[in-house]
Copies of this chain bind each other. A is one copy, B any other.
Amino acid sequence: MLSDVMEDYLKAIYILQERDGPPVATSEIAAYLDVTPPTVTSMVEKLDDRGLVEREKYKGVELTDEGVTVALEVLRHHRLLEAYLTEHLDYDWSEVHEEADVLEHHISEEFERRVAEALDDPTVDPHGDPIPNADLSPPEDAEHTPLSEHESGTTVEISRVSDREEEELRYLKDANITPGTVVRIVDVAPFGMVTVAVSDGGRQSLPEEIADSIRVKRVETDAVSAEEVPEA
């Protein structure tokens, strides 16, 4: 009943409203989906008519419960696919996003079920993003905070790395910045750039936009991590 495109809008609005809170502005959606603002206006009108978003003219939109449900369904498809491609078809972490972005709209419920079964009902995808469960109740995001919000000297474990740009992901993977890795924040520059020391001794500087999209969990500094993450 809903077109692929509508599903894309709902997913985008969900992600944006999770990141910055509602209401989500027309221009934000336009930038995220790479379309022009008038296109977004006419689309959100339609979504409003269908009861999937609550729209206030000139202000922005917010998903209704029904809209959230659709977004979570799409997100579940997306993240299950990413996990499946990685685990069973030998895809790399950094390659799965585009494939999943297309397929998420075209798999049946049956397919979803069987993929989830083959993976033994996973709870996170390869980027560390939580997979909504089958009943589509909103997942809570635990204590994962953006890397950019932490101070110099803190030791953190990477929990999620946003999955939008294949190039970026490949770079991060080479730098060993992947979910599960423990890093120490060496420096936070005035313009937001974060420099971290990885356990293999390497250092990486990440511009603010990237550091913003990496979510981490603070780690108690103890002997082990102190050894794993040397000062130099």
Q: Which A residues contact B (CB, under 8 angstroms)? A: 85, 88-91, 95, 98-99, 102-103, 105-108, 110-111, 114-115, 118
Q: List 14 A-B contacts (CB under 8 A).
A: A85-B111, A88-B118, A89-B111, A89-B115, A89-B118, A90-B114, A91-B110, A91-B114, A99-B108, A99-B110, A102-B108, A103-B106, A103-B107, A105-B106
Task: Beyond A89-B115, A91-B114, A105-B106, list 8 extra A-B contacts (CB 8 Å).
Answer: A85-B111, A88-B88, A88-B118, A90-B114, A95-B110, A98-B108, A99-B110, A103-B106
Q: Which residues of B contact A105 (CB under 8 A)?
A: 106
Q: Which residues of B contact A91 (CB under 8 A)?
A: 110, 114
The smallest beta-carbon distance between A102 and chain B, in angstroms, is: 5
Q: Which residues of B contact A114 (CB under 8 A)?
A: 89-91
The smallest beta-carbon distance between A80 and chain B, in angstroms, is: 12
Q: Which residues of B contact A108 (CB under 8 A)?
A: 98-99, 102
The smallest beta-carbon distance between A48 and chain B, in angstroms, is: 28
The 3 tightest CB contacts between A and B, nearest first, are: A89-B114, A102-B106, A106-B106
